[in-house]
Each structure stands twice: as structure tokens, then as C-alpha cells.
């Protein structure tokens, strides 16, 4: 099992330690899985490619290393709106 650090947002936003495919795996050649083309049942034409993960690693196995905070929304206070610059104000100048 080889580990690698990955940035992810699911299930929590943060840095994750993840499992990776074995580089010299006989089955997947280190790719971590196989692309399998499949056809449409009725027409037999190419319908897409399915990704099948190899058994030499577990793509769902990961540990949260460091949670990252959500980016806070900037609050614009009244009178500090840059688009409102130029003298205009909603509030009467008492």
C-alpha cells in the first residue's frame, strides 16, 4: 500500500492521505484499474467506457489529515461598497 496526499472536498474539505495503486501490479500495470468499453444493448454500438478499479488498492480508503475551513464570505458593510463609491449613499446625510 502506497500513500499519497490529496486535496479533496468530500466528505470534508481538507487534505487526505489516500491509498494508491501498486506501480508494478501485474493486473493493472500500475494504472489502478482498467478501462472497459461497453456497447449499447440494442444497437451494439459503442456506448461508453467503464472504469473498473483494480484490487491492488482501495480508492475509497483515505484518512483526513488536515481539515480546511470553508472560505468565508466577505461581508460588505454599508458605506464600504466599492460599486457604491462616487458620493451616492442610501442613507441620508444627517
The residues binding Zn ion (CB under 5 A) are 25, 27-28, 54, 56
Handedness of CA 13, 19, 23, 25 (dihedral sign): negative
Q: Which is nearer to Zn ion, 18 or 56 (CB)?
A: 56
Q: Smallest distance, Å, CB 1 to Zn ion?
A: 12
Q: Which is nearer to Zn ion, 12 or 36 (CB)?
A: 36
Q: Which residue has the cell 500500500?
A: 1
Q: Which is nearer to Zn ion, 14 or 53 (CB)?
A: 53
Q: Smallest distance, Å, CB 17 to Zn ion?
A: 19
- φ, ψ for residue 49 (rounded to 5)? -125, 135
Q: Answer yes or no: are the C-beta atoms of 46 and 19 closer than 8 Å.
A: no
Amino acid at each position: 500500500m502506497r500513500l499519497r496526499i490529496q486535496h479533496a472536498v468530500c466528505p470534508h474539505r481538507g487534505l487526505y492521505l489516500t491509498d494508491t495503486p501498486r506501480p508494478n501490479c501485474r493486473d493493472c500495470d500500475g494504472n489502478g484499474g482498467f478501462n472497459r468499453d461497453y456497447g449499447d444493448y440494442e444497437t451494439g454500438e459503442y456506448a461508453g467506457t467503464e472504469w473498473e478499479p483494480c484490487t491492488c488498492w482501495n480508492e475509497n480508503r483515505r484518512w483526513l489529515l488536515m481539515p480546511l475551513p470553508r472560505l468565508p464570505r466577505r461581508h460588505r458593510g454599508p458605506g464600504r461598497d466599492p460599486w457604491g463609491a462616487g458620493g451616492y449613499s442610501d442613507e441620508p446625510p444627517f
